[in-house]
Amino acid sequence: MVLTDPSTNRVTAAETAQPEDLELVRRAQAGDVDAFGELVERNRRAVFRAALAGVGSAAEADDITQDAFVTAFQKLNGFRGEASFRTWLLAITWRKAIDRRKSVTRWMQRLASPAPGWDTGEEQDPMNHLASREQSQEDELLTSDLQRRLRSLIASLPRKLRDALLLAGSGDHSYEEIGRMLKVPTGTVKWRVSEARKVLRHKMAAMGYLER
């Protein structure tokens, strides 16, 4: 069955893949590791990007992705199928990402060895690392000044706005999925995304990029 998102009129991948996912989940619940492996293969990209949006570091996102899948397998019998498996999995992933973000150890590590390109002039947020990844010389030439500044500004957004904007902008998650991950209504997610854009526009205008 193909469902469309009424707000965006978009077919969500999670909903189309759900029946097969459920079959795999049932097999995995019976202890079939290969079936769970297939679920990992199908969802690894979405899970990884959600984790990356949460922590801003590919290495940490990889750890979180692994943890999320292992936790999902351990709690598989608790999956009742109220939401799609993917949504349930993404909610686990996001919790892991938030836990990692809040962990004291992580902050200590960051303070001890700041990531390359850390902008001390801005809010000390690990997301800045994501915004200022090392780029090749060629990329530097191709990337406009606007893009660089935008990434930096996105990284400095308030977390609630930034999370919503990154998750929505990744193209991997529907608003409903993001709402379940963040445990807020879908309308709130949409508002946050819109607000994030508004804030960015204001900041860019203040920097002289856009006429108000």
Partner 1 sequence: MKDGRRKTEDGKYEKDEASMFDLAIDRAVREMLDVDPPAGLRGRVIARLPVASAFRRKQLLRRKDLFRRKAWMLVPIAAASVILIALLLPRGAPKIVHEAPPVVAGTQSLPAAGPAMSPAVTRPRAGIRAAVGTGRRIQPGQVTAAVAEEPAQGARVAALGDVAPIAVTTIETPAPTTLAGVDVAPIRIAPISVNALPDTPHERQQQE
Q: Which of 55, 91, 97, 165 binds partner 1 (CB under 8 A)?
A: 165
Q: Does 75 bind partner 1 (CB under 8 A)?
A: no
Per-residue three-class SS string for 118-186: CCCCCCCCCHHHHHCCCCCHHHHHHCCHHHHHHHHHHHCCCHHHHHHHHHHHCCCCCHHHHHHHHCCCH
62, 99, 123, 140: residue in contact with partner 1 (rule CB under 8 A) = 62
Q: Is residue 53 near partner 1 by the rule CB under 8 A? A: yes
Among 13, 17, 22, 40, binds partner 1 (CB under 8 A): 40
AA letter at 74? Q
Mark 20-39 with x for binding to partner 1 (rule: CB under 8 A) and - for no binding: -----------xxx--xx--
Q: Please name which of 104, 102, 101 lies closest in space to residue 112, comparing C-alpha atoms.
A: 104
Query: How far, in Å, CA of 45 to CA of 47, rounded?
Result: 5
> Considering the rule CB under 8 A, would residue 192 count as an interface residue with partner 1?
no
DSSP state of 77: G
What 8-state DSSP symbol labels residue 5?
Answer: E
CB within 8 Å of 94: residues ≥ 6 apart: 50, 54, 181, 182
| Segment lying near partner 1 (by CB under 8 A), choices 16-24, 104-112, 113-121, 194-202 | 194-202
| Residues near partner 1, by CB under 8 A | 31-33, 36-37, 40-41, 44-45, 47-49, 52-53, 58, 61-62, 65-66, 69-70, 73-74, 130-131, 146-147, 150-151, 154-155, 165-166, 169-171, 197, 200-201, 204, 209-211
